[in-house]
Chain A
Amino acid sequence: QQQVKQSPQSLIVQKGGISIINCAYENTAFDYFPWYQQFPGKGPALLIAIRPDVSEKKEGRFTISFNKSAKQFSLHIMDSQPGDSATYFCAATPSGNTPLVFGKGTRLSVIA
């Protein structure tokens, strides 16, 4: 049973545009929601993360929006650049020291 649903599967965005990736979860015990970025041949790397006690978190060009009542969260990449081309995974975990449950990933391509 997939506990974190991610969409879209792939995304093509023009340079300078906004990339938006959405995730939904079912388990109300989840308490931490990170986004990971993965380049080919590399392991995932933490990009930004949020707790459900806030509705938005921004770090540079990356913003997470969180809707606790809808059990949804999304990643917005502003001013998308070709270097942002990678696979993005949303994830969730119930507590600070438990395994992550990942979405299936979104392959982002930013074209000039």
Chain B
Amino acid sequence: EAGVAQSPRYKIIEKRQSVAFWCNPISGHATLYWYQQILGQGPKLLIQFQNNGVVDDSQLPKDRFSAERLKGVDSTLKIQPAKLEDSAVYLCASSLFKSWGLYNEQFFGPGTRLTVL
């Protein structure tokens, strides 16, 4: 079974530039998450999708970050304009939605390492 795919794996940009990340979840996984992992810290949620709808974007800096999941499969995360503090690994995770009462394991992709200069 193929895992969560992310691209690019690495990206270096200047501050104030824009950047986009792409995620392809495991086939059939209805729930998709984007996490930000700053060096030396645990991942922190940015946004959660259920199919193509947003479930939780309370921690997404909406003045510069945006995300979409058209057709409920692939997702893109965009930063515009980037700041130095956005340097981090951006992780995509997906889970197979079974029911609201059961734990649905999250499978993580390898991440995109962003460096903002």
User: Which residues of A are in contact with B by a Cβ distance under 8 Å?
Assistant: 4, 6, 32, 34, 36, 41-46, 49, 51, 89, 91, 93, 95-105
B109: CB under 8 A from chain A? yes
Whether the pair A32, B103 counts as a contact (CB closer than 8 A) is yes
**Which residues of chain A are within 8 angstroms of B95 by Cβ–Cβ distance?**
97
User: Majority SS of interface residues in chain B?
Assistant: loop
Nearest-neighbor residue (CB-CB) of B59 within chain A: A99
**Which residues of chain B are within 8 angstroms of A105 by Cβ–Cβ distance?**
40-42
Whether the pair B42, A104 counts as a contact (CB closer than 8 A) is yes
Nearest-neighbor residue (CB-CB) of B106 within chain A: A100
Whether the pair B4, A43 counts as a contact (CB closer than 8 A) is yes
Kindly provide the distance from the CB of A22 to the nearest chain B CB, expressed in whole angstroms: 15
With the chains together, A101 CA to B33 CA distance in Å?
12
Q: Which stretch (B14-22, B43-51, B65-73, B77-85) binds chain A?
A: B43-51
B94-117 CB mask vs A (1 if < 8 Å, else 0) is 010111111111111111000000
Closest 8 pairs (CB-CB, A-B): A102-B42, A43-B108, A99-B45, A96-B103, A96-B102, A32-B103, A44-B108, A89-B42
Whether the pair A99, B109 counts as a contact (CB closer than 8 A) is no
* Known contacts A43-B91, A97-B95; is-contact A102 B43 (Cβ 8 Å): yes
Q: Which of B8-48 contact A (CB under 8 A)?
A: 31, 33, 35, 40-45, 48
